[in-house]
Amino acid sequence: MKKANLVLTAALAAAGLVGVVGGALTPTTVMAAAAKKPSLSASVMKPLKAAQEAMNAKNWDEALTHIQEAQKVDGRTAFDDFQINDFLWFVLYQKKQLAESAVALEAAVNSGFVPPESLNQRYKLLLQLNLMGQNFPKAVEWGNKYIATNPTDMESSLQLAQGMYFNKDYAGAKALAEKMVATGAKPSEDTLKLLLRCNVELRNDAGSLNTLELLVRHYPAQKYWEDLLNNQLFRTRDDRALRQLYRLMVDTNTLDKGDEFSEMGNLLITGGYPAEAKKVLEQGMAMSVFSGDAKNRAQGDLDRARNLAATDAKDVPNAEKLIAAAKTGNSIIATGKLLFSAGEYARAADAVKQGLAKGGVTDADDANMLLGIALFRSGKPADAAAAFGAVKDPKMTEVARMWKLKLESDAANAAAPAAG
């Protein structure tokens, strides 16, 4: 049995560095303000006009040369400097000199000449430029100004949260990401990955696991299921719950280690599912997950499972006769297990339902778990959810909840396929 401990591997690797969210930097029209503001000095107008022509031709080096000429003009007015900086930030951005571009744009914004209706867009540009230029304190400063009047801009909110994260304000980034998630709209995958990373930095294990659940619900990639179920595996102590958890790992393609295949095989054999154990152990052998003594032990378990499965196989065709002759609910459940092990999920579900209805079942919680999985695998998710909901044993309810999460994830993503 494994010790309880929070383990985040695959999902954290995916969430390592959250990149800047897309969204083109769209500069305001160069010199547009000049029509309604003080006039440019003639000595500055000439090089800036040449710069404008070079910019229209996307000749950024030539444009920068003309802007630098304008910067050398003596006796420039404050408006001259504003217009020079408004040219300069855009040219530097095109040349991928992001930090310098942000400095020039900030100077233009602070000049007081930017029209009020354009300020919000400039704040947004400063957030983006500083984030890409890795000046995270400035990204946060300007991002806060922009979001204060544009709280529903989720793309920019994520960029601000990223700036907070990279500025090591994990609590602030977490709070903003949680606010975005709480809007009720489907959160972006990048938002959830950032929230996961914040929770990890804050050593908030419960928050990390909750975020993983959101990720598998909305973006059911194998890497997220792997971390979520591995953590559930560390916390699960009951053999019955472990057996059902391993089945969920099979259905999410996250069973990939030799000790997992070995433990699952043993739990299935001792639980009365030899045909299923045979299939699992054969898969492990085919994947070459065993080596050395572990391989020899697995081969021994596989031989035992094959022998037991061969005996059980004789009763599979006559299962319904066995059910009709059964005198107790437990006997019918045993036949349901036989059918489940053989992969006859619809027949297994019918048998387990009959056994529960007969009454006197020793372990109704394990039977309901088995019923839920059989119904899920036979294409009846709504009925499966009801069966999982009937599980009351505290040792098994968390695993039942993981299965319900699988149902919810499948339903949500069938209705609205996840976008990257």
In tens, the pLDDT along 270-312 reads: 999 999 999 999 999 999 999 999 999 999 999 999 999 999 9
Residues 44 and 172 in one domain: yes
287 vs 24: CA distance, rounded Å: 45
**pLDDT tens digits, 330-384:** 999 999 999 999 999 999 999 999 999 999 999 999 999 999 999 999 999 999 9
Residues 371 and 247 in one domain: yes
What does the angle CA 348 – CA 354 – CA 359 come to, to the nearest 5 degrees? 130
In sequence order, what DSSP letters do the residues of 350-417 get, joined into one string? HHHHHHHHH---TTHHHHHHHHHHHHHHTT-HHHHHHHHHT---TTTHHHHHHHHHHHHHHHHHHHSP
For position 1, what pLDDT does the model report? 41
Report the mean per-residue pLDDT for the chain. Answer: 91
Q: Residue 196's domain is classified under what CATH number?
A: 1.25.40.10
Q: Mean pLDDT, to the nearest integer, of 385-390?
A: 98
Residues 255 and 401 in one domain: yes
Within a domain: residue 2? no
Within a domain: residue 70? yes
Residues 177 and 257 in one domain: no
Q: Residue 336's domain is classified under what CATH number?
A: 1.25.40
The three-state (H, E, C) secondary structure of 52-99, written as one string? HHHHHCCCHHHHHHHHHHHHCCCCCCHHHHHHHHHHHHHHHHHCCCHH
Single residue among 201, 217, 233 that ends a domain in this structure: 217
What does the angle CA 12 – CA 18 – CA 21 come to, to the nearest 5 degrees? 145
Number of domains in the chain: 2
**pLDDT tens digits, 43-69:** 999 999 999 999 999 999 999 999 999
Within a domain: residue 156? yes
Q: Mean pLDDT, to the nearest integer, of 147-162?
A: 96
Within a domain: residue 106? yes
Q: Mean pLDDT, to the nearest integer, of 200-228?
A: 96
Residues 53 and 96 in one domain: yes
Structure tokens belonging to residue 2: 């494994």
Residues 309 and 163 in one domain: no
Residues 271 and 399 in one domain: yes
- Asked if residue 38 lies in contact with residue 74, where contact means CB atoms within 8 angstroms, the answer is no
Structure tokens belonging to residue 179: 């606010």
For position 14, what pLDDT does the model report? 39
- Asked if residue 348 lies in contact with residue 340, where contact means CB atoms within 8 angstroms, the answer is yes
Structure tokens belonging to residue 175: 């709070």
Residue 389 contacts by C-beta under 8 Å, 6 or more apart in sequence?
400, 404
Single residue among 183, 217, 251 that ends a domain in this structure: 217
Residues 251 and 330 in one domain: yes
**pLDDT tens digits, 389-419:** 999 999 999 999 999 999 999 998 886 544 3
Single residue among 182, 217, 252 that ends a domain in this structure: 217
Residue 415 backbone class (left: φ over 0; alpha: ψ -120 to 50; beta: rest):
alpha
What does the angle CA 356 – CA 374 – CA 321 come to, to the nearest 5 degrees? 60
Within a domain: residue 379? yes
For position 6, what pLDDT does the model report? 52
Domain that holds residue 190: 32-217
- Asked if residue 27 lies in contact with residue 105, where contact means CB atoms within 8 angstroms, the answer is no
**What pTM does this model have?**
0.85
Q: Mean pLDDT, to the nearest integer, of 161-168?
A: 97
Residues 257 and 340 in one domain: yes
Within a domain: residue 228? no
- State the residue for tokens 């009763």: 315
- Asked if residue 327 lies in contact with residue 339, where contact means CB atoms within 8 angstroms, the answer is no
Within a domain: residue 260? yes
Structure tokens belonging to residue 369: 């778990």
Residues 404 and 336 in one domain: yes
Within a domain: residue 10? no
Residues 208 and 248 in one domain: no
Residues 173 and 248 in one domain: no
Whole-angstrom distance between the N-terminal and C-terminal Cα of the chain? 36
172 vs 188: CA distance, rounded Å: 18
